[in-house]
Amino acid sequence: MNKNYFKYLVRNRKLLIGFFFVLYLVISLFLFRIDRSREIFCSIVMTAVILSLGMAFVLPVLLFSFAMRRNSADVYFALPVSRKEMRLTSLLFAFALCYGYFLITVLIAWLLCGIGTVRLLHLAVILVFFAFVCAAMLVINSFLYLIGNNIPDGIIILAAYTMFPLFAVLAEDLIVSNLIAGNMILVNPAKAWILSPISVLVTNCIAVIDFRLADFNIPYFAAGVLYAFIGWFGLKKEFDERKSERAEHISDHPLAYKTIINCYAALFSLLFASSLVHYPEAEYVVAFVMLLGCYIIATFLYQRKLKLEWKSLALFGAEVIISLAIMVVGWNTRGFGLADQIPLSQGDTLTYEYYLMADQDDLGRGKDMSMNEVHEAYVGFTLAVKTDRIEEHQEVIDLMESYRKKAIDNYYARKEQEYSGYLRTMNSRNGNSILEYTYPTFAPISEEDLRIINRYAEVTVNCYEYYEKWDEEPEKLLEDYLDWRAHQS
């Protein structure tokens, strides 16, 4: 650390420091109420976290922009300070602001509304953990910013890398939805969130603030540490060994536009390919053409010239072909085998849910969604089986599995949803749902099979018409309904 440089940073930004401090306190403590409450304290802390993380994006831009302009690079790199000292001093200054404001705000919040409701240990854990989060985000963002050679590129590159995991998560959800029958929902967070440093750090931050240490995600923590290391060593390389003549040039770093454009192109190729294999329609081919257009425009914009290299086009072509190949294989292997999987562990509960808008006279005949008839009966059930009781329920499980497999077959045969209702399977553990499949392309369960299911779970039939006509209760159990229907006819 260089004391003189630190003093200069403080002296030169006095107004900014003061202004942000006041703004920080006002926004964070806006939620303050007179009554001492843990919830209020946690809300204030979360607000402070958000503000500090926002500063962790802004401060690297403010402190390292001098390296991106030729005339300021001439002045700063000629100073009697080593690059290492300059880097460390800038980071320390940024940390002092980011974390310092947070620390003051949280301590004030604790004194005003946390004493008695928030233990000292809890407070200490929050302060220590957020110090790590703050430091990690500062080094990561500084590294990403310095990949650029000029200020606009640096900001775009930082934004692109920050946003990429969000797009990856959305793409993951859509690809899974397209490729795996049952629109599989992972109740746990999408895997792609682990690509986001801010997500992995903030997720655990929230668990720490709420003191839900059981929810502290170890893989996320490990990922956060890894990102911090990458940020630290990347920043060291990008700043200490930076060629100052790069300032104001086109950003030609290997991790700059070429990587970003191709990563986004590959992601969207996978997404469009999954949609194309699911719905082989012309509009998805058009989507690829539009993606190519965006790819070409992005390449022109970053190169600042109208020159298209065949290598770039070949790379794009390869991304599209590989994406299509992956998705075709995925479709033909029924979602890489994931569509047929219901992995169960000891202690899990397997649940089947069924609901159908059926014909009153035949509960195994579903109502066409386009028809508007009144003789409707709504049949449904929930069958939950713990793993230790599977043997006893083998008959009904085999029955349900046959309907589930039929629904999966319909999906991969690209059949449309015909009936109003759904078939759903769920895995849950300790009362929490961990895996869910919902099959819109299901086939209605016959009355005979409903009778078998009725031996293991309560099958109910709702028939509002009978309720309105004969003042009967609208919901009946299956056997009661069938007897009653027999009497009516």
Partner 1 sequence: MLKAEQVSKSFGDTAVLRDLTIEIPDKTIFGLVGINGAGKSTFLRLAAGVYQPDQGRITLNGQDTLKEDAVRKDISFVADEAYYPLGATLGSVASLYESMYDFDNALFETYCGMFELNRKTPMANYSKGMRRRASIILALCTHPKLLLLDEAYDGLEPLARLQFKRILAQRLEEEEITVVISSHNLRELEDICDSFGILENGTIQRHGDLLESKGAINKYQMAFEQELTKEDFKGLDILRFEKEGRVIQMVVRGEERAVMQVLQEHQPLFTDVLPVTFEEMFLYELEQRGDRS
Asked whether position 307 contacts partner 1 by CB under 8 A, the answer is: no
What character string, x for contact with partner 1 (CB under 8 A) and - otherwise, covers 226-255?
-----------------xxx----------
φ, ψ for residue 188 (rounded to 5)? -65, 160
Among positions 1, 16, 50, 79, the unique one binding partner 1 when judged by CB under 8 A: 79
| Two tokens, residue 25 | 């306190």
**Near partner 1 by CB under 8 A, which window of 75-83, 88-96, 105-113, 118-126?**
75-83
- The token duo for 79 is 């100073």
Buried b vs exposed e over 334-370: b needs ≥16 C-beta within 10 Å?
bbeebbeeeebeeebbbbbbbbbbbbbeebbebbeee
H-run or E-run covering 381: strand 376-386
- The residue among 73 and 326 lying less far from partner 1, judged by its C-beta, is 73
**How many of the chain's residues bind partner 1 (CB under 8 A)?**
23
Least distance in angstroms from the C-beta of 245 to partner 1? 6
- Enumerate residues 6+ apart whose C-beta is below 8 A from 140: 197, 227, 228, 230, 231
Question: Segment contacting partner 1 (CB under 8 A): 78-86, 222-230, 323-331, 473-481?
Answer: 78-86
Residue 8 Cβ vs partner 1, minimum distance, rounded to whole Å = 4
Report the nearest approach of partner 1 to the CB of residue 321 (Å): 33
10 contacts 17 by C-beta, under 8 angstroms: yes
218 burial via Cβ count (<10 Å: 0-12, 13-18, 19+): exposed
User: Which listed residue (26, 34, 35, 80) binds partner 1 by CB under 8 A?
Assistant: 80
| Window contacting partner 1 (CB under 8 A); options: 8-16, 90-98, 318-326, 371-379 | 8-16
Helix (H, G, I), strand (E, B) or coil at 212: coil
Closest separation in Å from C-beta 10 to partner 1: 10
> Is residue 93 a contact residue for partner 1 (CB under 8 A)?
no
What pairing do the DSSP bridges indicate for beta strands 421-429 and 362-366?
unpaired
73 binds partner 1 (CB under 8 A): yes
Touching partner 1, residues 50-69 (CB under 8 A): 69
| Helices and strands (H, E) in the chain, number of each type | 16, 8
Q: Using CB under 8 A, which of 30, 82, 390, 480 touches partner 1?
A: 82
Out of 78, 214, 306, 486, the only residue in the binding site for partner 1 (CB under 8 A) is: 78
Nearer to partner 1, 243 or 487 (CB): 243
Residue 4 binds partner 1, judged by CB under 8 A: yes
Q: Which two tokens stand for residue 100?
A: 């310092």
- Rg of the chain on CA atoms, in Å: 30
Q: Secondary structure of the chain: what % helix, strand, coil (to 5)?
A: 65, 10, 25
For 359, the token pair is 């014909």
Of 71 and 488, nearer to partner 1 (C-beta) is: 71
Write down the least CB distance from residue 18 to partner 1, Å: 16
Is 72 a binder of partner 1 (CB under 8 A)? yes
Binding site for partner 1 (CB under 8 A): 4-5, 7-8, 11-12, 69-75, 77-82, 85, 243-245
